[in-house]
């Protein structure tokens, strides 16, 4: 596995997003299936594992801690605070006292004395970013976390935070079907020496050809978060299937799967970009890992740009309510 730099850590070029082992995409897999996948990822050379207090309202951290604690010295462990489950509801709370309490809970669930990379999962806009990052800086000094990350923030907010304490990584959605990062924050990360961690690099399954038709979309579990996302609304998705058909052809011509094409494209966006696909299936895990060996020709990149220009993705990535909770730059229609 190729390596990339994330703050003080050298990590696998592809990390593992652990969220969907416990959260968000319908019924999670059985515990033994989730455990097998985590260990398979470790054996495949993945060293960056990404979880959060929110995922499964603590269940994902408990899973990761139970399975990976015996291998703690082999991995870079990332988790998140600032957005948690409170009495069964998702709550954004960036107050310093809350972040410190959440960290103690995460350390216990993860069965570790220190978290390598601790993200502010969402910026609580009721709390100055300087105050939230200041609290995380105290956790660094106390030896409870090794480095600080931010999630779903703009270049301007990143710079404000970085002035308080060096930021090791910024995480936001980035893929062929979500390129908002290219407005400003991708370059800001490069300028500041901040790793850019791309979540949902497979377009929430779309770019992996996981939802190939309207029937598959309609069959999504009732609690699947994609049901509330505009791009997966029936009218938008019908239009996006035209893009998908042409995208499949480009992948075939490049000699790789659609998922591998999406990940390989991200590797061309900068040495500081680290995708963290998530999956519940061993076959998909192996497919994703193999993407690190795919080399794309200039002609393939040009074909992808031309396809996006001809068939732009229909629909916003979040609904209006969720959009108010994030701080990322957005393209204007």
pLDDT reading at 181 higher than 70 = yes
- CA proximity to 318, closest of 310, 309, 327: 327
Which tens digit of pLDDT belongs to each residue from 15-35?
999 999 998 998 999 999 999
What pLDDT does 198 receive? 98
Which tens digit of pLDDT belongs to each residue from 228-252?
999 999 999 999 999 999 999 999 9
What pLDDT does 87 receive? 87
In angstroms, rounded to a whole number, what is the distance separating the alpha carbons of residues 46 and 57? 25
What pLDDT does 70 receive? 98
Q: Are 97 and 106 in contact (CB under 8 A)?
A: no
What's the pLDDT band for 282 if we cut at 50, 70, 90?
Answer: very high
Provide mean pLDDT across the span 70-74.
Answer: 98
In which residue are the tokens 């969220």 written?
Answer: 19
What pLDDT does 331 receive? 87
pLDDT reading at 40 higher than 70 = yes
What pLDDT does 41 receive? 98
Which tens digit of pLDDT belongs to each residue from 108-156?
999 999 999 999 999 999 999 999 999 999 999 999 999 999 999 999 9
Spell out the domain ranges in the chain: 3-204+259-294
pLDDT reading at 206 higher than 80 = yes
Q: Are 22 and 217 in contact (CB under 8 A)?
A: no
List of long-range contacts for 137-145, beta carbons under 8 Å, 24+ apart: 137/164, 137/165, 138/96, 138/100, 139/99, 139/100, 139/103, 140/165, 143/113, 143/114, 144/103, 144/104, 144/107, 144/113, 144/114, 144/115, 145/103, 145/114, 145/115, 145/116, 145/117, 145/118
pLDDT reading at 289 higher than 70 = yes
Among 55, 119, 174, 318, the one annotated catalytic: 55
Other Cβ atoms closer than 10 A to 218: 10
What's the pLDDT band for 88 if we cut at 50, 70, 90?
Answer: confident
Which tens digit of pLDDT belongs to each residue from 208-225?
999 999 999 999 999 999
In angstroms, rounded to a whole number, what is the distance separating the alpha carbons of residues 111 and 50? 15
Residues for the chain: how many in total? 333
What pLDDT does 332 receive? 72
Q: Are 48 and 78 in contact (CB under 8 A)?
A: yes
119 catalytic residue (yes or no): no
Q: In a 3-state reduction of DSSP, which class is residue 42?
A: helix
In angstroms, rounded to a whole number, what is the distance separating the alpha carbons of residues 232 and 264? 24
Q: Are 115 and 79 in contact (CB under 8 A)?
A: yes
Mean pLDDT of all residues belonging to the chain: 97
What pLDDT does 77 receive? 98
What's the pLDDT band for 333 if we cut at 50, 70, 90?
Answer: low
The CATH class for the domain spanning 3-204+259-294 reads: alpha beta
């Amino acid at each position: 596995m190729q390596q990339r730099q994330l703050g003080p850590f050298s990590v696998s070029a592809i990390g593992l997003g652990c969220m969907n082992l416990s959260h968000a995409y319908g019924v999670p897999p059985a515990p033994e299936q989730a455990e097998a996948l985590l260990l398979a990822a470790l054996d495949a050379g993945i060293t960056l594992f990404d979880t959060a207090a929110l995922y499964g309202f603590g269940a994902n951290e408990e899973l990761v801690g139970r399975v990976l604690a015996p291998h703690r010295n082999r991995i870079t462990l990332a988790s998140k605070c600032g957005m948690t489950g409170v009495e069964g509801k998702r709550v954004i709370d960036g107050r310093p006292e809350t972040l410190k309490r959440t960290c103690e809970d995460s350390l216990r669930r993860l069965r570790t004395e220190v978290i390598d990379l601790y993200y502010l999962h969402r910026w609580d806009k009721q709390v100055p970013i300087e105050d939230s990052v200041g609290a995380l800086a105290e956790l660094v000094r106390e030896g409870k976390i090794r480095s600080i990350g931010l999630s779903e923030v703009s270049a301007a907010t990143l710079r404000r935070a970085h002035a308080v304490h060096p930021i090791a990584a910024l995480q936001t959605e980035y893929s062929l079907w979500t390129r908002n990062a290219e407005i400003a924050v991708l370059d800001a990360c490069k300028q500041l020496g901040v790793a850019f961690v791309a979540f949902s690099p497979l377009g929430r399954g779309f770019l992996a050809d996981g939802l190939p038709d309207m029937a598959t979309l309609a069959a999504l579990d009732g609690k699947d978060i994609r049901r509330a996302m505009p791009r997966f609304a029936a009218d938008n998705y019908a239009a996006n299937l035209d893009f998908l058909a042409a995208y499949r052809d480009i992948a075939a011509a490049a000699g790789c799967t659609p998922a591998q094409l999406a990940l390989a494209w991200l590797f061309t966006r900068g040495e500081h970009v680290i995708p963290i696909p998530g999956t519940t299936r061993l076959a998909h895990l192996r497919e994703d890992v193999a993407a690190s060996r795919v080399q794309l020709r200039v002609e393939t990149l040009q074909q992808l740009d031309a396809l996006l220009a001809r068939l732009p993705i229909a629909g916003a990535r979040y609904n209006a309510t969720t959009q108010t909770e994030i701080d990322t730059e957005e393209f204007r229609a």
